[in-house]
Amino acid sequence: MLSRLHTRLISTATQVSIKYPYFVARNSRGNLPVYTDVRNGGTRYLVLIRNIDGKPDALASELSQNLFPKDSPEAARIQVEVQRSHIIIKGGRWKNDVVKFLLEKGF
């Protein structure tokens, strides 16, 4: 029984990693690694996605194209930057939107 459960867990994890060229693993508390960073006395608001396995560039392009409708003011303001295995999103307070986007993707 334990080996079947182990196989199911492994097969579920590999399906997600094969479906996308990137993988966003959850942290030790079971949450997605999406964080906010407020700088310059509250005038600069950043959303961080940490510890992305695979190709973070692919996730960054999907976020910039699909997070908001193309004609919306949010789509005009969003700036997505990749640094190693992290993504920095500038332009607004969009942590909840990013978490919702990742949950819809199956992470």
Q: What is the pTM of this model?
A: 0.78
Both tokens of 39, joined, read 């700088």
The proportion of the chain whose per-residue pLDDT surpasses 70, expressed as a percent, equals 83
pLDDT of residue 67 exceeding 60? yes
| Number of CB atoms found within 10 A of residue 60's CB | 19
Q: In the predicted model, is pLDDT for residue 70 greater than 50?
A: yes
Q: pLDDT tens digits for 9-53?
A: 444 554 444 589 999 999 999 999 999 999 998 889 999 999 999
CA atoms of 9 and 42, how far apart (whole Å): 42
CATH topology of domain 2-105: Translation Initiation Factor Eif1 (3.30.780)
